[in-house]
Structure 1
Amino acid sequence: MSTIGVILAGCGNIDGAEIHESVLTLLYLAQAGAKTRIYAPDVSFEAVNFLTKKPMGERRGVLVEAARIARSNIKDVATAKGADLDALILPGGNGVAKNLCDFAARGAGGSAHPEVARLIREVHDAGRPVGAICIAPVVLALVLGAKKPRLTIGNDMGTAQAIEKTGAVHVNCPVDDIVVDERLNLVTTPAYMLGPGIADVAKGIEKFVVEIVRRAG
């Protein structure tokens, strides 16, 4: 049975992890018989009101919010060790670009959260698969850009151009498909970067999870 790490960026597509993407990922991993270990960074963020889509004037913890999706079965990513994982997955959501890295503010000039970057490198350097969904490939681009990874966020030209400034190579991809970098053992899928709904993104995420599990052995 493979052990696959999942890093969440909070809870909710506007300021955290995209809930549909996260739950679908965990569902398909469970159906594949994989064991999961869920992590999030222990940092704070400015919470958004999901009705008005405006800041609420309060800060919350990424780890605490992500625990809602994980049903409390979650740990600080600082405690994670790449040697304990057969693969690593990053679901999407705007929180990825804000809480797992600073791509939202700095674009290609940004950097990933140090513990998130460390875990990605540990899993990647061990030759194990790393996957990213929706906007999360920007984190892989920031961490592994010098290796020129092939990845996708769908077909958004602005985001694709920013990604390619890191050294990564963007590949256009429909919502129901995946992009595999055979050389670097990376798998990505667009999900809600394209949408339009849960049934659509589910097709790509299922294919994505199947590929990650197959590569994890």
Structure 2
Amino acid sequence: MMKVAVILSGCGVYDGAEIHESVLTMLALVRAGAEPEFLAPDIPQLHVVNHLTGEVASGESRNVLVESARIARGKIKDIAQANVGDYAAVFFPGGFGAAKNLSDFAIKGADCQIQADVLRFAKAVAAAGKPACYICIAPAMIPHVYGSGTAVTIGTDEATAAAITAMGGQHISCPVKEFVIDKDRKLVSTPAYMLAENIADAATGIEAAVKATLALI
């Protein structure tokens, strides 16, 4: 069974990894015969959001690795200690954690930076020519990993697409149940909850993107 990496960014759509997307990615991988291994950076979250009210919880702090372990059922590694050579492909579920913890895209837009351990790992994946799949808002990190001209989608959101273009990416509008592939870079992206109206919409696109990514191995 081939091992693949799934990079998490916390636990919860507003301040971490989107739980539906993370679980759907894992389910699609296992059904396709892959063995997912979870990774996350051992860093503080940007902030903690009360998911009942949508408001930032003042005075509360959480750790990205610890929170990600909730989704991984405790089986997770610090991405700083991970070796790209151990994995056949890598997957980045979305959620605001990708834009707040794995990067600061939610704050700085086109001027964003990617967290150092995450960037090292993602660039090593690209340099090794291994397939990668970025889901939902996570594709906003792609231009900083793969460089100018990379084909990428976050769906149809004009402001996010404009920021990706400003970073040098080639944004392609895409329906929720489909994906965009940059074959030269073995790179797949899909909109998921950037467009999904329900979990079934997200599941269809994610499963298609997972299959397309595994086919590039």
Q: Give per-residue Cα distances to partners, 1:100-158, cap 9 Å, x unaligned.
A: 00111111111101111111111111111011000000111222233x21010000000
- Whether 2:105 is the aligned partner of 1:117: answer no
1:147-184 per-residue CA deviation (whole Å, 9 max, x = no partner) reads: x2101000000000001111110000000001000111
Cα contact 1:37–1:74 (8 A) shared by 2? yes
Letter in 2 for 1:51: L
1:94 matched to which residue of 2?
Answer: 96
Instruction: Please list the CA deviations of residues 51-101 of structure 1 after superposition, one character each: whole Å capped at 9, or x if unmatched.
Output: 111111201001111000000010111011111111111000011100000
Could you state the TM-score of these two structures normalised by the residue count of structure 2?
A: 0.97
**1:130: which partner in 2?**
132
DSSP-derived class of the 2:188 partner? strand
**Identity fraction in percent:** 49
Provide the secondary structure at the position in 2 that maps to 1:55: coil
Give the TM-score taking structure 1 as reference length.
0.97
| Cross-structure match for 2:43 | 43
Query: In structure 1, how many angstroms separate the alpha carbons of the residues matched to 2:160 and 2:176?
Result: 16
Q: Secondary structure at the match of 1:132?
A: strand
| Shift, 1:195, TM fit | 1.1
| Distance in 2 of aligned mates of 1:50 and 1:165 | 31
Partner of 1:19: 19
Name the CA distance, whole Å, in 2 between partners of 1:39 and 1:180: 24
Partner amino acid, structure 1, of 2:72: A
Shift of 1:215: 1.4
CA drift at 1:37? 1.4
SS across alignment from 1:128: coil
What's 2:84 paired with? 82
Separation in 2 of the partners of 1:142 and 1:162? Answer: 12
Q: CA RMSD in A?
A: 0.9
197-206 vs 134-143, which deviates more? 134-143
Letter in 2 for 1:170: H
Question: How far, CA to CA, are the matches of 2:61 and 2:94 in structure 1?
Answer: 20
Conserved in 1, the CA contact under 8 Å of 2:186 and 2:213? no
Match for 2:41: what amino acid?
P
Aligned match of 1:202: 203
The CA distance in 1 between the partners of 2:2 and 2:129, in whole Å, is 15
What residue identity is the alignment partner of 2:88? D
Q: Which amino acid aligns with 1:204?
A: G
Residue of structure 2 equivalent to 1:141: 143
Q: Which residue of 1 aligns with 2:154?
A: 153
Q: Which structure shows the higher strand fraction?
A: 1
Match of 2:109 among 107, 110, 119: 107
In structure 1, what is the Cα distance between the partners aligned to 2:141 and 2:118?
9
Q: Is the 8 A contact 2:4 2:35 kept in 1?
A: yes
CA contact (8 A) 2:179 2:205 kept: yes
Q: Distance in 1 between matches of 2:79 and 2:66?
A: 12
2:172 paired residue number: 171
- Name the count of aligned residue pairs: 215
The 2-side partners of 1:2 and 1:108 are apart by 35
- Unmatched 5+ stretches in structure 1: none
Q: 1:180: which partner in 2? A: 181
